[in-house]
Structure 1
Amino acid sequence: MSKPLIVEIPHELGLEEARRRIAEGLSGLDSTLKKAGISIDTMTWTEDRLDFGVAAMGQKVDGQVDVKPASVRIEVRLPLLLSFFAHKLQKSIGNKGNLLLTKK
């Protein structure tokens, strides 16, 4: 395993609204990921933490999303083969997370 990829996204939504938006944003994710050749193995909420596991390119990826009152912390553990895409993935997670958590 390579070093975990960590993205912290600040927000001004409060804990419940941030969690609601994340859950809502994930609701249609399965079909989008399937088109990209990624399958969801696990996705489990425990209070304000989402633990997930996905499979991509024959590799397993897991991590968690911790929703806090003023930020969301995303940690993804990539196998060595996929760690070459870490920077691009980190940027994409940050951009999409900011759009999802922007106060409207």
Structure 2
Amino acid sequence: MPEPIKVDIPHNLGRETAKSRMTGGVGKLADMVPGGGTVQHRWEGDTLHFTLTAMGQTVASRIDVFDNKIHAEVDLPPMLALFGGKVRDKLMQVAPKLLK
């Protein structure tokens, strides 16, 4: 099993505002995948668990929301692990936009 991609994104919104914005933005993730996809998500405390399914692959992810940052971990299936660097770069671009 490949190591998850881990990313920290700083913010100055506070925990509750960051959670609210993540809730509003997580549905937009499907639009960023070629061919579209589906997103399912649920909150457990300050952790957002979500899966993105597209082109026969399911990517499980979780985002922990803190007062001054979000910590994202993305578990890529072995077939997509080859693209881990590109996925990490895209996550670094997309995650801050979800907080706006």
Band of TM-score, shorter chain: 0.7 to 0.9
Q: TM-score, normalised by structure 2?
A: 0.84
CA, structure 1 residues 11+47, in 2 after alignment: closer, same or farther (shift >3 Å)?
Answer: same
Q: TM-score, normalised by structure 1?
A: 0.81
Aligned residues: 100
How is 1:65-80 mapped onto 2 (pairs within 5 angstroms)? 65-80=63-78
Q: Which structure has the greater CA radius of gyration?
A: 1
Corresponding residue of 1:97: 95
Q: Is the 8 A contact 2:2 2:76 kept in 1?
A: yes
Q: Is the 8 A contact 2:25 2:99 kept in 1?
A: no
Q: List alignment gaps of at least 5 residues for structure 2.
A: none
CA distance in 1, matches of 2:29, 2:59: 16
Q: List alignment gaps of at least 5 residues for structure 1.
A: none
CA distance in 1, matches of 2:51, 2:68: 25
Give identity over the alignment, percent: 34
Corresponding residue of 2:45: 47
Corresponding residue of 1:16: 16
How is 1:28-39 mapped onto 2 (pairs within 5 angstroms)? 28-30=28-30, 32=31, 36-39=35-38
Alpha-carbon offset, residue 76 of structure 1: 0.6
Please give the per-residue CA displacement for 1:25-82, whole angstroms capped at 9, x wherever unaligned: 124444x257634222x31111211111222332222120111111101101111110
Name segments (4+ residues, structure 1) moved above 3 Å: 27-30, 99-102
CA, structure 1 residues 91+48, in 2 after alignment: closer, same or farther (shift >3 Å)?
Answer: same
